[in-house]
Amino acid sequence: GQNIDQPTEMTATEGAIVQINCTYQTSGFNGLFWYQQHAGEAPTFLSYNVLDGLEEKGRFSSFLSRSKGYSYLLLKELQMKDSASYLCAVRGRGGKAAGNKLTFGGGTRVLVKP
């Protein structure tokens, strides 16, 4: 099975940096995703890591350590619009034709204050 843990909530100040950690235990691993979800809306893709290391994409970066079952999402130069939930998700292996479902953590709600 899959078990994915991330903090429930974080608060940060506009312009600051916030790091959201995610730890996972999985029976199969085929990549780790971070999604952003505003209240009542669909998750939107932020980043993907399948190999160890850091992936940078503008103000957002994501890091993966497969040996430690650990990832983090780094949000820099926080803006008010970044207030949202950030979902860590692991893509598994298995199922016919590599269906590769995503298993999500509970999400981290980030509140950006002025």
Site residues, another protein (CB under 8 A): 31, 40-45, 48, 87, 89, 94-107
Of 78 and 89, the one with the shorter C-beta distance to another protein is 89
Least distance (Å) from another protein to the CB of residue 101?
4
Task: Give the count of beta carbons closer than 10 Å to the beta carbon of residue 23.
Answer: 16
Residue (13 or 45) nearer to another protein, CB: 45
What distance in Å separates the CA atoms of residue 63 and residue 58, rounded to the nearest whole number? 14
Closest CB 39 distance from another protein, rounded Å: 10
- Residues 109, 9: Cα–Cα separation, whole Å: 5
